[in-house]
Structure 1
Amino acid sequence: MPNPSTSTPTQDPKGSRRALVSSFLGSTVEYYDFLLYGAAAGLVFPQLFFPETMDRALGSTLSFAILLAGYVSRPVGGILFGHFGDRYGRKNILVITLVLMGAVSVTIGLLPTYGTIGIAAPVVLVVLRIVQGLAVGGEWAGATLMAAEHVSERNRGIAASVAVTGGPTGSVLATLVLGLFAGLPDDAFLSWGWRVPFLLSAALVVMGLYMRIRVTESPEFARARSTGDVQTGTPILRVIQRYPASTIYGILAVAGPLFMQALLAVWIVPFVASQGAVSRQEALYMLTFSSVVHIFAIPFFAWLSDRFGRRPVMLCGAATSVALVFPMFALFNSGSAWLIALGFLIGNPIIQASMYGPVGAFLSEKFDTRDRYTGVSLTFQLGSVLGAGTAPLMANWLFEMDGGGTSTIAWYFIGLVAVSSIAIYLSKETLASRDSAAKDAQESDDDDRTVPQA
């Protein structure tokens, strides 16, 4: 009989399903909280958290700067929570990050405005945003790994995408709830209506915690722990030393699709509303509908990556993105409500999802089990800063530089996608069969990566 301390954990179908649901709910709460701030940053905060005498454009820029602060703190959170996740396991870390996310969101909903506490209002908002960024930094990678490591290697792409689809699901909830209250008269919306969506985060956290506490530890981490193959040193140093190319390629690979994600969620809604063709509420509903389609598009492209490889699918997505970005902006500038809605449908489920769908598996397969939490957190969160965190500020600056046009934003996105494509092309294909994985692990690899064994 095998020694219990060294026996290999087996995959439990019920446990796998529970892990997938838990990862999905956790990511949904994460992005609901995080993107709710992004939507409010363009619609509410410039008027409430800065002096009334301040120029509206400057207020928007400062709100987007606070948004960026949350993105900048995400890699720090990824390193911090990744350190403990690689040493002690995924499950308990994910409970902590979920509670932090919900607590910050509820606190923002209760936060007094500039008119009540003066300069302390934006200062506290910055602090809360940084704490929220730390929590998100540990959440995305942990949720993705819990889903991916509970299934067989041949289904890892679509399993990881279950956690990734929490992003558009959270966006659906955030924009739908905020859109409902955005229909209130301006006085009511600005006095209390915008707060309700933040406070409702508490209900989502309770649901997520219920599932997350019941989920079992990742079988791959349990296997590594049973054999003593867990991280005992400093994970971040090990990742930098062992996977320098994998880390750099991963960061650059996600920058393009994450830029589009943040642009649509944060900048485009107030932009199209300011054109006069649609109202603030209608723009939010258009984003909501496109996010619903996005939920199904992400696992579709992940499923394709399980059949044809991560790199081919992501490179085809990059080519599609370059071809469609100018038509997308033309639709946003058309002045027609139906064409604007079509622009959202091109942006989210096609441009963004075609590159983003395989990302969970693409990144997780670049690192060994004992380095994976830290490696995935670091690459994805630094890519988030480069792509999503700077998106609203860059869009504002490029829009003004272009005299109120969007062509420079489109060209900037094409540049980011080109950089992402080079990084994807230089990365070694991470989809491997059970037989070829062992062979690939022994060969020299320009991507200095070891293929993890399922």
Structure 2
Amino acid sequence: MTTHQGVDKKALRRAYTASLSGTALEYYDFAAYSVAAATLFGDLFFPSGDDLAGTMAAFSTYAIGYLARPLGGIVFGRLGDVIGRKKVLVHTLMLAGVATFLIGLLPTYATIGGTAAILLVVLRFAQGVAVGGEWGGAVLLSSEYGDPKRRGLWASAAQIGPPAGTLLANGVIALLGALLTEAAFESWGWRVAFLLSAVLVGFGLWIRLRLEETPVFKAIAQREEQPSAPVSEVARTERRALVAGILVRVCPDVMYSLFTVFVLTYMVNELDMSRAQGSAAVMIGSAVQLGLMPAFGALSDRVNRRKLYLYGTIAAAIWPFVFFPMVSGGSFVLLALGIVVALVIHAALYGPQAALITEQFSPRLRYTGSSLAYTLAGVIGGAPAPLILAALLNWFESWWILGVYLGLTAVLTVVGLWLARDPAEEDEVAPAAEEKVLS
């Protein structure tokens, strides 16, 4: 059986799996680092005797992973529009996997002094470059095999990666924490979570190397319509699309950082709860998201995508003012419930997000445009979020300022939705009928 484009459904499912597995690996890497940064890396790589200073230093390295993403978006996004989606995605997967594996082998400050922090920064930077090149291609890998009228569903494959990676990373770290003593975990147990990335890389490469290029890119290449300078062409001809794509990501990025990264520090330092409880709560929320990402992506194919996104943004701005009073008593049940609701709201935004951003750009510039929007938004939203949240809480000594911060990012996202457009039929590229997708 084939799709409307003449593409075998088996190929479509394989492309969906390839997209999901790659982003899951890269967000496993990011999530493993996020948990370690919130709970361990301050002492292991940035010891100062000041808990806040150590946490801020660890979160600074977390931010470097975001700041590196635009470089990955520029380099790999350009290549993806010129030489093809599949070739680029093999290289981004390998880069992320190698960098994460090496973090697992890295000596700490106690062994080699400040050099340990420098090496951690370099490897974190490499992770960021890989993620910056991965996302746009992963979205196109699945969505360009499927029906454009169901782009929300097929593009959601890349969106399942963050909760899948977060769930897996938190699960591995929670399991290690349960099996090992605190001393053993802090000494060597945390390394296992990073070394296991090699298994995920192997699986991802096995899937991706069996795929051929997407039918849409094949058609563009067959007509010799690849851009020669896609980055400058996007900046020159599709500026509004780029600004819209950047702004619609800001609020979801900050919300995700707040409820999966910063919340771990908040609950340990402010609520006197354990690291294991925080990881468990994030795991529960991430598990719920696994099914909701494609569900909200599919829903956005049936209703106006921008309106659905607007409702999610409003809910995101409101939720902190419910969440923090709710968890103030230190109840694990209420903490888990609060994080679950937060990640349901995030899924309503993140599920349709890939389709919303990619359809802002013309097909021949989609890898570059989507990658730039994704990565530049991270610089504004995700990168500084844990640092800003930690600093605001320290200055104001109250949770309400965290809600105000998220609300301001929601305003930016609403502006992005106003600038964005609905998909246009004339933008679609009909794949070459004679091409077979899989050998």
User: Residue 330 of structure 2: SS of its match in structure 1?
Assistant: coil
Tell me what 2:389 maps to: 395
8 A contact 2:296–2:351 mirrored in 1? yes
- After superposition, give the CA deviation of every residue in 1:381-407 in whole Å (9 maximum; x if it has no partner): 11112111111001001101212x111
CA distance, structure 2, for counterparts of residue 42 and residue 332 of structure 1:
19
User: Which residue type is aligned with residue 368 of structure 1?
Assistant: S
8 A contact 2:318–2:407 mirrored in 1? no
CA distance, structure 2, for counterparts of residue 149 and residue 97 of structure 1:
19
User: Residue 382 of structure 2: SS of its match in structure 1?
Assistant: helix
Q: Is 1:219 matched up with 2:215?
A: yes
- After superposition, give the CA deviation of every residue in 1:279-300 in whole Å (9 maximum; x if it has no partner): 2112101100110001112212
Tell me what 1:326 maps to: 321
Tell me what 2:437 maps to: none
Q: Is 1:344 matched up with 2:339?
A: yes
- After superposition, give the CA deviation of every residue in 1:320-345 in whole Å (9 maximum; x if it has no partner): 22232211222232321111111111
Tell me what 1:17 maps to: 13
CA distance, structure 2, for counterparts of residue 326 and residue 254 of structure 1:
21
**Equivalence map 1:75-94=2 (5 Å):** 75-94=70-89
**Equivalence map 1:15-414=2 (5 Å):** 15-51=11-47, 53-183=48-178, 184-231=180-227, 233-276=228-271, 278-350=273-345, 352-403=346-397, 405-414=398-407
8 A contact 1:277–1:336 mirrored in 2? no
User: Which residue type is aligned with residue 208 of structure 1?
Assistant: G
User: Which residue type is aligned with residue 421 of structure 2?
Assistant: K
8 A contact 1:10–1:219 mirrored in 2? no
User: Which residue type is aligned with residue 415 of structure 1?
Assistant: L
- After superposition, give the CA deviation of every residue in 1:16-70 in whole Å (9 maximum; x if it has no partner): 111001101111101001121111101110011123x431210111111111111
CA distance, structure 2, for counterparts of residue 293 and residue 363 of structure 1:
24
CA distance, structure 2, for counterparts of residue 11 and residue 385 of structure 1:
37
CA distance, structure 1, for counterparts of residue 152 and residue 5 of structure 2:
21
Q: CA deviation at 1:277?
A: 5.4
User: Which residue type is aligned with residue 142 of structure 1?
Assistant: G
- After superposition, give the CA deviation of every residue in 1:323-370 in whole Å (9 maximum; x if it has no partner): 3221122223232111111111111122x1122211100111111221
CA distance, structure 1, for counterparts of residue 329 and residue 221 of structure 2:
57
8 A contact 1:137–1:377 mirrored in 2? yes
Tell me what 1:428 maps to: 421
8 A contact 2:5–2:146 mirrored in 1? no
CA distance, structure 2, for counterparts of residue 74 and residue 40 of structure 1:
20
TM-score by length of 1: 0.91
Q: CA deviation at 1:428?
A: 1.5
User: Residue 319 of structure 2: SS of its match in structure 1?
Assistant: helix
8 A contact 1:365–1:452 mirrored in 2? no
CA distance, structure 2, for counterparts of residue 376 and residue 119 of structure 1:
37
CA distance, structure 2, for counterparts of residue 10 and residue 37 of structure 1:
42
User: Which residue type is aligned with residue 245 of structure 1?
Assistant: R
CA distance, structure 2, for counterparts of residue 355 and residue 98 of structure 1:
25
8 A contact 1:9–1:222 mirrored in 2? no
8 A contact 1:33–1:174 mirrored in 2? yes
Count of residues in Structure 1 that have an aligned counterpart in Structure 2: 426
Could you tell me which runs of 5 or more consecutive residues in structure 1 were left unpaired when the two chains were aligned.
1-7, 439-450
Could you tell me which runs of 5 or more consecutive residues in structure 2 were left unpaired when the two chains were aligned.
431-439
User: Residue 299 of structure 1: SS of its match in structure 2?
Assistant: helix
Tell me what 2:435 maps to: none
